[in-house]
A and B are shown apart, each in its own frame.
Chain A
Amino acid sequence: MIPLRGFLAGFDHFVLVYFLVLSGLYLLLTVLASIDVLRAARSAGVDGQDDLFAHPLTPGISVIVPARNEALSILACARGVLSLRYPELELIIVDDGSTDDTFALVEAAYSLVEVRRFVAGDVPVVGTVRSVHVARTGTPVLVVRKDHGGTRADALNAGLNVATKTIVCFLDADSVLDERALLSAVKPFVDDPEGVVGVGGVVRVANGCAFEAGRLVSPEMPSSWIERIQIVEYLRSFLLGRTAWSKLGGLMIISGAFGLFRLETVIDVGGFDVDSIAEDFELVARLHHRLRAGHGKYRIVCIPEPAAWTEVPATLGSLASQRKRWARGLAETLFKYRRMTGNPRHGVVGIVALPYYLAFECLGAFVELTGSLALSLGLALGVVDVQLALLVAAVAFSYAMLLSVAALALEEFSFHRYPRTADLAKTLGAVLLENVGFRQLHAWWRVQGTIAAIRGNTHAWESPERTGSSADSARSGTPVS
Chain B
Amino acid sequence: MEIRHLLTVSVLVLTTLAVGLSVASTLVRAWRASAARRRDVQLTAIRPQVLEWLATVDPHNRQVLDPTARPGRSDARSVEELIGGLLPKLRGDDRAVLTTFLERTGALERARLRMYSRRRLVRARAATLVGAAAWRRGLPEVVWLLRDPDPEVRSAAARALGRMGAPDAIPYLLGAFEAPRHSISASVVGIALLHLGPASAPELIRTLRAAPAATRTLVAETLGLMGATQASNPLCHQLRTDTEAEPRTAAAHALGRIGGRDAVGPLVAALDRRQPPALRIAAAHALGSIGDPTAIDDLALTMTDPNHRVARAAARALAALGPGGRRSLEHATTVIELGRPSALEALDLSDRVRPMVAR
Q: Which residues of A contact B (CB under 8 A)?
A: 42-43, 45-48, 50-52, 54-58, 60, 88, 90, 113-118, 120, 134-138, 140, 164, 190-193, 387-388, 391-392, 394-395, 398-399, 401-402, 405-406, 408-409, 412-413, 416, 421, 424, 428
20 CB < 8 A contacts A-B: A46-B124, A48-B191, A51-B162, A52-B191, A54-B191, A90-B358, A117-B348, A120-B309, A136-B354, A190-B187, A191-B151, A191-B185, A193-B186, A388-B7, A398-B14, A398-B15, A405-B18, A409-B21, A416-B29, A421-B26
> Cβ of B190 and Cβ of A57 under 8 Å apart?
yes
Give the shortest distance, in Å, between A102 (CB) and chain B (any CB): 21
Nearest chain B residue, comparing its CB with the CB of A402: B18
- Given A118-B344, A391-B11, do A46 and B156 touch, yes or no (CB 8 Å)? yes
Query: With a CB–CB cut-off of 8 A, which chain B residues contact A190?
Result: 185, 187
> Cβ of A138 and Cβ of B345 under 8 Å apart?
no
Partner of A138, one of B24, B225, B342, B357: B357
> Cβ of B3 and Cβ of A118 under 8 Å apart?
no
> Cβ of A55 and Cβ of B187 under 8 Å apart?
yes
Nearest chain B residue, comparing its CB with the CB of A118: B341
Give the shortest distance, in Å, between A122 (CB) and chain B (any CB): 8
Nearest chain B residue, comparing its CB with the CB of A115: B348
- How far is it, in angstroms, between the C-alpha of A361 and the C-alpha of B356 when the chains are bound? 49
> Cβ of B187 and Cβ of A45 under 8 Å apart?
no
> Cβ of B155 and Cβ of A48 under 8 Å apart?
yes
7 smallest beta-carbon distances between A and B, as pairs: A118-B341, A398-B14, A115-B348, A391-B7, A412-B25, A46-B124, A116-B344
> Cβ of B357 and Cβ of A134 under 8 Å apart?
yes
Give the shortest distance, in Å, between A407 (CB) and chain B (any CB): 10
Give the shortest distance, in Å, between B88 (CB) and chain A (any CB): 7
> Cβ of A43 and Cβ of B152 under 8 Å apart?
yes
> Cβ of B357 and Cβ of A140 under 8 Å apart?
yes
Kindly state whether residue B22 has any CB partner on chain A within 8 Å. Answer: yes
Kindly state whether residue B61 has any CB partner on chain A within 8 Å. Answer: no
Considering residues B10, B28, B30, B162, which has the most beta carbons from chain A within 10 angstroms of its beta carbon?
A: B10
Query: With a CB–CB cut-off of 8 A, which chain B residues contact A137?
Result: 353-354
- How far is it, in angstroms, between the C-alpha of A123 and the C-alpha of B321 when the chains are bound? 32
> Cβ of B14 and Cβ of A118 under 8 Å apart?
no
> Cβ of B353 and Cβ of A424 under 8 Å apart?
no
Give the shortest distance, in Å, between A144 (CB) and chain B (any CB): 13
Q: Map CB proximity to A onto B324-359 as digits: 1 under 8 Å, 0 otherwise.
A: 000000000000000001101100110011111111
- Given A120-B308, A416-B29, do A406 and B21 touch, yes or no (CB 8 Å)? yes
Nearest chain B residue, comparing its CB with the CB of A423: B29
Interface residue ranges of B85-144 to A (CB < 8 Å): 88, 121, 124-125, 128
Q: How many A-B residue pairs have CB under 8 A?
A: 145
Query: With a CB–CB cut-off of 8 A, which chain A residues contact B88?
Result: 50
Partner of A191, one of B3, B187, B355, B357: B187
Query: With a CB–CB cut-off of 8 A, which chain A residues contact B354?
Result: 136-138
Kindly state whether residue B159 has any CB partner on chain A within 8 Å. Answer: yes
Give the shortest distance, in Å, between B244 (CB) and chain A (any CB): 14
> Cβ of B14 and Cβ of A402 under 8 Å apart?
yes
- Given A52-B187, A55-B191, A193-B186, do A416 and B21 touch, yes or no (CB 8 Å)? no
Nearest chain A residue, comparing its CB with the CB of B186: A193
Query: With a CB–CB cut-off of 8 A, which chain A residues contact B186?
Result: 193
Kindly state whether residue B237 has any CB partner on chain A within 8 Å. Answer: no
Give the shortest distance, in Å, between B68 (CB) and chain A (any CB): 24
> Cβ of B11 and Cβ of A116 under 8 Å apart?
no
> Cβ of A394 and Cβ of B11 under 8 Å apart?
yes
- Given A90-B358, A118-B344, A413-B25, do A51 and B152 touch, yes or no (CB 8 Å)? no
- Given A57-B187, A116-B348, A412-B28, do A164 and B14 touch, yes or no (CB 8 Å)? no
> Cβ of B190 and Cβ of A388 under 8 Å apart?
no
- How far is it, in angstroms, between the C-alpha of A406 and the C-alpha of B17 when the chains are bound? 9
Partner of B22, one of A118, A135, A388, A409: A409
> Cβ of B7 and Cβ of A138 under 8 Å apart?
no
> Cβ of A192 and Cβ of B353 under 8 Å apart?
no
Considering residues B156, B221, B348, B357, which has the most beta carbons from chain A within 10 angstroms of its beta carbon?
A: B357
> Cβ of B308 and Cβ of A118 under 8 Å apart?
yes
Give the shortest distance, in Å, between B14 (CB) and chain A (any CB): 4
Give the shortest distance, in Å, between A187 (CB) and chain B (any CB): 9
- Given A46-B128, A57-B225, do A398 and B11 touch, yes or no (CB 8 Å)? yes
> Cβ of A388 and Cβ of B3 under 8 Å apart?
yes
> Cβ of A57 and Cβ of B7 under 8 Å apart?
no
- How far is it, in angstroms, between the C-alpha of A58 and the C-alpha of B187 when the chains are bound? 7
Query: With a CB–CB cut-off of 8 A, which chain A residues contact B151?
Result: 191
Kindly state whether residue B70 has any CB partner on chain A within 8 Å. Answer: no
Kindly state whether residue B216 has any CB partner on chain A within 8 Å. Answer: no
- How far is it, in angstroms, between the C-alpha of A140 and the C-alpha of B155 when the chains are bound? 31
> Cβ of B25 and Cβ of A115 under 8 Å apart?
no
- How far is it, in angstroms, between the C-alpha of A168 and the C-alpha of B28 when the chains are bound? 38
Query: With a CB–CB cut-off of 8 A, which chain A residues contact B32?
Result: 416
- Given A57-B221, A135-B357, do A117 and B345 touch, yes or no (CB 8 Å)? yes
Query: With a CB–CB cut-off of 8 A, which chain A residues contact B194?
Result: 55
Query: With a CB–CB cut-off of 8 A, which chain B residues contact A387?
Result: 4
Query: With a CB–CB cut-off of 8 A, which chain A residues contact B342?
Result: 118
- How far is it, in angstroms, between the C-alpha of A235 and the C-alpha of B10 when the chains are bound? 25
> Cβ of B225 and Cβ of A115 under 8 Å apart?
no
Partner of A134, one of B4, B15, B185, B349: B349
Kindly state whether residue B8 has any CB partner on chain A within 8 Å. Answer: yes
Contacts A60-B358, A402-B15 given; 4 further ones with Cβ under 8 A? A135-B357, A140-B358, A395-B11, A401-B18
- How far is it, in angstroms, between the C-alpha of A402 and the C-alpha of B24 when the chains are bound? 13
- How far is it, in angstroms, between the C-alpha of A43 and the C-alpha of B119 when the chains are bound? 12
Query: With a CB–CB cut-off of 8 A, which chain B residues contact A191?
Result: 151, 185, 187
Kindly state whether residue B188 has any CB partner on chain A within 8 Å. Answer: yes
> Cβ of B341 and Cβ of A46 under 8 Å apart?
no
> Cβ of B308 and Cβ of A135 under 8 Å apart?
no
Query: With a CB–CB cut-off of 8 A, which chain B residues contact A42?
Result: 121
Interface residue ranges of B153-204 to A (CB < 8 Å): 155-156, 159, 162, 185-188, 190-191, 194
Nearest chain B residue, comparing its CB with the CB of A264: B278
- Given A57-B190, A135-B353, do A408 and B7 touch, yes or no (CB 8 Å)? no
Kindly state whether residue B248 has any CB partner on chain A within 8 Å. Answer: no
- Given A140-B358, A405-B22, do A395 and B14 touch, yes or no (CB 8 Å)? yes
> Cβ of A399 and Cβ of B125 under 8 Å apart?
no
- How far is it, in angstroms, between the C-alpha of A402 and the C-alpha of B16 when the chains are bound? 9
> Cβ of B3 and Cβ of A136 under 8 Å apart?
no
Query: With a CB–CB cut-off of 8 A, which chain B residues contact A193?
Result: 185-187
Give the shortest distance, in Å, between A297 (CB) and chain B (any CB): 16
Query: With a CB–CB cut-off of 8 A, which chain B residues contact A388?
Result: 3-4, 7
Considering residues A51, A116, A388, A416, which has the most beta carbons from chain B within 10 angstroms of its beta carbon?
A: A51
Interface residue ranges of B218-236 to A (CB < 8 Å): 221, 225
Query: With a CB–CB cut-off of 8 A, which chain A residues contact B162?
Result: 51
Give the shortest distance, in Å, between A231 (CB) and chain B (any CB): 15
Kindly state whether residue B147 has any CB partner on chain A within 8 Å. Answer: no
Partner of A192, one of B11, B15, B185, B358: B185
- How far is it, in angstroms, between the C-alpha of A193 and the C-alpha of B190 when the chains are bound? 14
